[in-house]
Amino acid sequence: MFKKLAFVLALAASVQVAHSTNIYPLNGNRVVGEEHVYKVDTQGTTTLEYVAAEYHLGLSNMIEANPEVDPIVPVKGVSLIIPTKLILPDTVHEGIIVNSAEMRLYYYNGGNVEVYPIGIGQLGKGTPIAWVTKVERKRANPTWTPTASTRAEYAAAGEYLPAVFPAGPDNPMGLFALYVGRLYAIHGTNADFGIGLRVSHGCVRLRNDDNEQLFYKVPVGTRVEFINVPIKYCEEPNGDLYIEVHQPLSRTQSEFDNFDEKVPFTFTNAQLEFFKDPRINKDILERALHERSGRPVLLNPVEFD
């Protein structure tokens, strides 16, 4: 499916969209935000990438929440679910958390958490999935030094990269970079597409507006944690039980090429124990694990006679 998206991504790159930052107050709940509905205009000019950018989401978030909608040419007048309600990852609420499975970056800033959509590493060039590090340094107008293998890959496609790609708007790293650890960066892009997709050579890619905001807010030394958690779940203070299920990242070329087929889960012991909770409606749980909508699902709704 992602190969099919080349046209829509190129189209979306030329569209200017108003961004609105997703900032959620930390109030003791793990479930934050509210969903919205967007009605596709009658002129037929809307794409899922256009709507994703407008609502500060990645393309994969929109595809998961609207699986029956053509991402390139949505039916005129169709109502799209905007998945801006989510479960915060079950990890320390400090600094930056990158959850590759859901294509989101969380930045805990004071009493709020800011959520940004991201693009991650291609298959075989993966973004780290279980690593704690920190922001080592920051650089405006970064240069890019492609590896020998990257230069060979581009050359095979007829594009010859310089040893050092100069700073500027054409640089694939965009205009701002946060260097994490020794080998990776959180940076912008010269294309402004591919957010919510596996497109990079391992780094974390953001839309340029998002990247600039993050660059000026995040100090050097900030804790950064990479995780790969397709299933998030929680119990809220009022006793509500929620689960949010995303499609796991492809682990093989076959899984990646057959995107419409579901990648199998590898459940953790903690998840299996949670599934045994007698308060959970097992039919709702099974449906959530099957649909993988990327949306929080209430597992113990109040039932009335």
Mean pLDDT over each residue of the chain, to the nearest integer? 87
Let me know if 234 is a catalytic residue. Answer: no
Is residue 305 domain-resident? Answer: no
Parent domain of 235: 231-298
Catalytic pick among 56, 201, 203, 246: 203
Residues 87 and 216 in one domain: yes
- pLDDT of res. 3: 39
- 18-27, 76-85, 103-112, 230-239: which range is least confident on average? 18-27
- The structure's pTM equals 0.88
Residue 183: pLDDT band with limits 50, 70, 90 = confident
Residues 219 and 243 in one domain: no
Let me know if 203 is a catalytic residue. Answer: yes
pLDDT digits (tens, 9 = 90+) for 21-77: 689 999 999 999 999 999 997 665 678 998 999 898 999 999 999 999 998 888 888
Is residue 64 domain-resident? Answer: yes
Residues 67 and 152 in one domain: yes
Number of domains present in the structure of the chain: 2
Among 227, 250, 275, the domain boundary falls at 227
- Output the CA–CA distances (angstroms, integers) from residue 224 to 2, 100, 131, 179, in the order listed: 29, 13, 8, 10
pLDDT digits (tens, 9 = 90+) for 129-164: 889 999 999 999 999 887 787 888 778 888 878 888
pLDDT surpasses 80 at 170: yes
Catalytic pick among 187, 201, 234, 246: 187
- Taking residues 285-299, what's their average pLDDT? 98
